[in-house]
Structure formats: structure tokens, C-alpha cells
């Protein structure tokens, strides 16, 4: 039972998941679940490629996500956003970033792809995500 709870902390709250078609966390899915009154979470996982980490917090009208993606891997990141104009990465509009590829914005989620590196996303929200 405790194993399932620990898995939920990493994959649910922390949002660190191996992509469905990936082997050994070569492609990572970052999809943190902001549930209930939880206002922040932090998680890390030691993959065969190195440490994957997430740290998020939500405040009145903002959601911040710090992510570390190890070398030789890629990630798909899901952010709570209605439009791309609401998202910045390292204080620069995400639509102007060459190292961030926008995949989709649908149903209140922006889906983006990134390579290895450290990222700081900030989303301005109308309501808490």
C-alpha cells in the first residue's frame, strides 16, 4: 500500500512519468497534478540518464514550475494555461523561446516539448490551476 502512495507522490503530485513509448526514461512526461488545497510540491527521480526533478507552486493567479531534464533525454511538459501568452520560461515569453516547442493548447492545458536542461515556467492564470 505504501508503494502506491509513494508512486503517486512522484507521478501525481510531482508529475514525473516515463512516456508511454519510452525505455529507461529517455522521454519524460512532466504532468504535475495540482489537487485540493495543495499549494506546492517537489519531487526528483534518479533515472538511468540522471536526475529528473520538478518543483511547483501555485499562488493567487500564478503557477510556477521548475524542471530539470537530464542530458540525452527529452520531455513533454503539461502546464495549466488557456493561451500561450500566459506562459513565460525564464522570464521570456514561451512563444519566443527557440528551445521550447509548443505542441498544443487544449482544454486548459498547454503541452510543450523540451530537451535536456533546467527550465523555470510561470503561468498567469485567471483562477488557481
* Residue 78 in domain: yes
* Residue 28 in domain: yes
The predicted-structure confidence for 63-100, as pLDDT tens digits, reads as follows: 999 999 999 999 999 999 988 989 999 999 999 999 99
Instruction: Please choose, from the candidates 104, 61, 110, the residue with its C-alpha nearest in 3D space to the C-alpha of residue 81.
Output: 110
Q: What is the domain extent for residue 76? A: 2-124
pTM above 0.75?
yes
* Residue 73 in domain: yes
Alpha-carbon span 69 to 95, nearest angstrom: 20
For residue 115, the SS3 value is: coil
* Residue 64 in domain: yes
CB atoms within 10 A of CB 19: 15
Kindly report the CATH number assigned to the domain that includes residue 108. 2.60.420.10
CA atoms within 13 A on the CB side of 94: 27
Domain count, the chain: 1
* Residue 54 in domain: yes
Q: What is the DSSP string of 38-62?
A: --EEEEEEEETTEEEEEEEEEETTE
* Residue 129 in domain: no
Longest dimension (CA), the chain: 45
The predicted-structure confidence for 43-59, as pLDDT tens digits, reads as follows: 999 999 999 999 999 98
Amino acid at each position: 500500500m505504501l508503494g502506491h502512495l509513494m508512486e503517486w507522490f512522484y507521478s501525481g503530485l510531482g508529475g514525473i512519468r516515463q512516456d508511454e513509448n519510452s525505455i529507461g526514461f529517455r522521454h519524460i512526461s512532466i504532468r504535475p497534478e495540482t489537487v485540493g488545497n495543495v499549494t506546492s510540491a517537489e519531487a526528483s527521480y534518479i533515472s538511468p540518464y540522471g536526475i529528473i526533478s520538478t518543483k511547483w507552486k501555485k499562488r493567487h493567479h500564478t503557477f510556477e514550475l521548475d524542471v530539470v531534464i537530464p542530458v540525452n533525454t527529452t520531455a513533454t511538459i503539461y502546464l495549466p494555461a488557456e493561451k500561450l501568452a500566459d506562459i513565460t520560461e525564464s522570464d521570456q515569453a514561451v512563444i519566443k523561446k527557440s528551445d521550447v516547442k509548443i505542441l498544443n493548447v487544449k482544454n486548459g492545458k498547454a503541452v510543450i516539448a523540451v530537451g535536456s536542461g533546467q527550465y523555470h515556467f510561470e503561468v498567469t492564470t485567471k483562477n488557481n490551476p
